[in-house]
A and B are shown apart, each in its own frame.
Chain A
Amino acid sequence: MSAPKNMGVNQQPAVAATGSDREAILSTRQLTKKFGGLTAVDSVGFTVAAGEIRCLIGPNGAGKSTLLELITGQLSPTQGDIYFDGLDLTALEPHERMDAGISVKFQSPHIYESLTVEQNLRVPLQRTDRETETVLTDTLERISLAQQANVSASDLSHGEKQRLEIGMAVTLDPKLMLLDEPVAGMSIDETADIAELIRSLHDDGMTFLVVEHDMEFVRKISEQVTVLNQGSILRQGPIEDIESDDEVRRIYLGENA
């Protein structure tokens, strides 16, 4: 399979606009998605700096998942652009975006149930030129599934499936990892495992954009938080500032913080 490595579409250097001095890896400009009369994402311009863990929070229906799907290419925007690593993503197919260095973990586990854990990891590894066996061993170790390498993926627990799916995305060595509610429906222990996994990948330089509801979890992993409300950005900043912001508390955290 030919992997388009250099898609020199509209080279546009995007500079972080959040005041961070790190280089921006992902930025959106006036990104809008309308479903009929409903504007799910309304002229969003935001930036993720290379190497950060950015959490995206907001009440149900704020447009978090839509925004994520616009970035992956599952949805195409009504208006606006998305830049990733100096590349205009807007016109690219989902698989081309993944080639460019984005990986995604869906909200509910999407794994290959009929394959073993190891085979699940081999599927993405097949199309990279990375050292398959080494990466395989490392990844299994990393997601703590080395013991279950030859177990059928359908026999894993919910938490293990989530870890496996993150593992599959990790094997591609992405520059940016998108996680949609990675700890939904997980036990406290499983949540702690995921937080640790994210932190360790972050230490190795991976950038994260995480959609999450669980504020406890957000506190554990995040430095920068973006709050979405009714399709627009309400606030952006360090987690402490966000949590003490009156408007955010009223709209979103009011009931559970």
Chain B
Amino acid sequence: MKLGSDILPSRLKSIITKLNGPNTLGNSRVFWAAFGVGLLLLVVQPLIRGSYAAGQFSLFLAYGLLGLSLSIIWGYTGILSFGQVAFFGIAGYTYAIVSLNLGGALGPTVALPVAIAVATISAFILGYFMFYGGVRNVYVAILTLVVTLVLETFMAQTAGAKWAIGSVKLGGFNGIPGIRNFTLGVGESSFSLSGSEFYWFVLAVLLFAYLGSRILVNSKYGYSLVAIREDEERTAMLGYNVKKVKLAVFTFSGALAGLSGIFYANWGNYMDPSVFTITFATIPIVWVTLGGRESLLGAIVGTVIIEWLRKWFSINASEFAIVFVGLILMITILFIPRGILPGIRDMYVFFNAHGLREGIEHGRDTIQSRAQTLLGSVGIDISDSETPGSSEVMRE
């Protein structure tokens, strides 16, 4: 906090410095400029593409929160969790049950904090038993997946009148329909969010969650997350209470996933057990891997790209949607193993240091050599001379 600066109030200035740090990839002016442009495009999107398109897109942004939660727990802390969708679903169901039981404008307003609390507490309980029970590494992945699948089985059999909470029937496979749009405020002053307004609201929440997560990972606390990911035993032997840190992060990311689930329930006005299926449990892993799991923004960007593509494919080539997504994932892992955003960042750093021409050459060489090793490993041999686009052409 520098008191000398008069352009910005000192508190705002200190928040801005907290956003940047060694644990996030983009800290430069260029990054923030690009971020600003991207954000602006997102903000004006409903005005250009219309309210309906914005409404469709708001689901991707809602999923962005789920991707963000996985990036924090997996990318930063090294805990692979399939359970994010469990907290997503728990929050969605809670929101549905509470808001429909209370009804009116009051319902959604009360349901929002209650649903977040239930997701957070669920994450805390599961996390407590896992981390304090000594469950580690791949067993966390298995256990979280099992919990999710058990929830699927359980919720799927809740058909019939006896499975009701208050006036709301859980509905088994058919789920809970008729969830009311998001409403803020009480009584006369309340207003319901749909279309563009809902889009802007989700965008604002995602922006805050992203900036908040940046502050978190760049804080003292963030160091301990990265340290646990890199070497858990060493970190404990430097005096860190590893179990406690893991539990706290797991709980926090459960809350984020829950928030995402609430938006999901709002978006479709509907909640069913498909959110607990293995397909949905693995999709966040794909988003985050594609975007770059050690990058918070990468996780969000990856989510939006994949979901946008899935949507596009499901309209234009329905049965192949998941195949294409798999293909994209494979190509990304092979050519930019760290993910899209870290890949772009590495490219930018290289171009900056070596100039455009050398940068292009380097990029081409990298892709060529990776493709060669790849094809070589399946028995196809291409030598340099046969590869089109040689350096002479590029130099012209």
Choice from B227, B242, B244 contacting A123 with Cβ under 8 Å = B227
A-side contacts of B69, CB under 8 Å: none
A-side contacts of B233, CB under 8 Å: 74, 106, 110
CA distance A99 to B238 in the complex (A): 8
Q: A110-B231, A110-B233, A112-B234 in contact; A123/B223 too (CB < 8 A)?
A: yes
A72 touches B237 (CB 8 A): yes
A149 vs chain B, min Cβ distance (A):
13
B235 touches A123 (CB 8 A): yes
Minimal Cβ-Cβ distance residue in A for B230 = A112
Minimal Cβ-Cβ distance residue in A for B222 = A126
Minimal Cβ-Cβ distance residue in A for B231 = A110
Minimal Cβ-Cβ distance residue in A for B235 = A123
CA distance A156 to B258 in the complex (A): 43
A1 touches B231 (CB 8 A): no
A177 vs chain B, min Cβ distance (A):
12
Residue A124 lies at the interface, judged by CB distance under 8 Å to chain B = yes
User: Within residues 75 to 132 of chain A, which ones have a CB less than 8 A from any CB in chain B?
Assistant: 93-95, 98-99, 103-104, 106, 110-116, 119, 122-124, 126-127
B223 touches A126 (CB 8 A): yes
B-side contacts of A38, CB under 8 Å: none
Choice from B224, B230, B236 contacting A1 with Cβ under 8 Å = B224
A94 touches B230 (CB 8 A): no
Q: A112-B226, A112-B227, A119-B22 in contact; A124/B238 too (CB < 8 A)?
A: yes
B224 touches A112 (CB 8 A): no
Residue A168 lies at the interface, judged by CB distance under 8 Å to chain B = yes
Residue A3 lies at the interface, judged by CB distance under 8 Å to chain B = yes
A-side contacts of B244, CB under 8 Å: 1
Q: A112-B226, A114-B230 in contact; A123/B238 too (CB < 8 A)?
A: yes
A-side contacts of B235, CB under 8 Å: 123
Residue B128 lies at the interface, judged by CB distance under 8 Å to chain A = no
B374 vs chain A, min Cβ distance (A):
25
Residue B241 lies at the interface, judged by CB distance under 8 Å to chain A = yes
Minimal Cβ-Cβ distance residue in B for A116 = B22
B-side contacts of A113, CB under 8 Å: 230
B236 touches A115 (CB 8 A): no
CA distance A126 to B240 in the complex (A): 10
Q: A112-B231, A123-B227 in contact; A98/B245 too (CB < 8 A)?
A: no
A127 touches B230 (CB 8 A): no
B-side contacts of A218, CB under 8 Å: none
User: Within residues 106 to 136 of chain B, which ones have a CB less than 8 A from any CB in chain A?
Assistant: none
Choice from A74, A115, A119, A168 contacting B238 with Cβ under 8 Å = A168
B239 touches A98 (CB 8 A): yes
B255 vs chain A, min Cβ distance (A):
20
Q: A1-B245, A110-B234 in contact; A115/B226 too (CB < 8 A)?
A: yes
B-side contacts of A206, CB under 8 Å: none
Minimal Cβ-Cβ distance residue in A for B238 = A124
Residue A172 lies at the interface, judged by CB distance under 8 Å to chain B = yes
Choice from B22, B221, B239, B245 contacting A124 with Cβ under 8 Å = B239
Q: A1-B244, A95-B242, A119-B22 in contact; A126/B224 too (CB < 8 A)?
A: yes
CA distance A235 to B238 in the complex (A): 32
CA distance A124 to B231 in the complex (A): 13
A-side contacts of B236, CB under 8 Å: 94-95, 98
A-side contacts of B241, CB under 8 Å: 1, 93, 95
A-side contacts of B226, CB under 8 Å: 112, 114-115
Minimal Cβ-Cβ distance residue in B for A126 = B220
CA distance A122 to B240 in the complex (A): 13
Most chain B beta-carbon neighbours within 10 Å: one of A112, A116, A123: A123
B-side contacts of A72, CB under 8 Å: 237
A122 touches B223 (CB 8 A): yes
CA distance A160 to B373 in the complex (A): 34
B179 vs chain A, min Cβ distance (A):
40
CA distance A124 to B239 in the complex (A): 8
Minimal Cβ-Cβ distance residue in B for A101 = B239
Most chain B beta-carbon neighbours within 10 Å: one of A1, A3, A111, A122: A1
A-side contacts of B221, CB under 8 Å: 1
B239 touches A172 (CB 8 A): yes
A98 touches B237 (CB 8 A): yes
Q: What are 28 A-B interface contacts by the 8 Å CB criterion?
A: A1-B241, A1-B244, A1-B245, A93-B241, A94-B236, A94-B237, A95-B237, A95-B239, A95-B240, A95-B241, A98-B236, A98-B237, A99-B239, A106-B233, A111-B234, A112-B226, A112-B231, A113-B230, A114-B226, A115-B22, A115-B226, A116-B22, A119-B22, A123-B224, A123-B235, A124-B239, A127-B240, A172-B238
Question: Chain A: residues with CB nearer than 8 A to chain B?
Answer: 1, 3, 72, 74, 93-95, 98-99, 103-104, 106, 110-116, 119, 122-124, 126-127, 168-169, 172
The 4 closest A-B pairs by CB, nearest first: A98-B239, A110-B234, A112-B230, A124-B238
With A95-B241, A122-B223 given, name 19 new contacts (CB 8 A). A1-B221, A1-B244, A93-B241, A95-B236, A98-B237, A98-B239, A99-B239, A103-B238, A110-B234, A110-B237, A112-B227, A112-B231, A112-B234, A116-B22, A123-B224, A123-B235, A124-B238, A126-B224, A127-B239
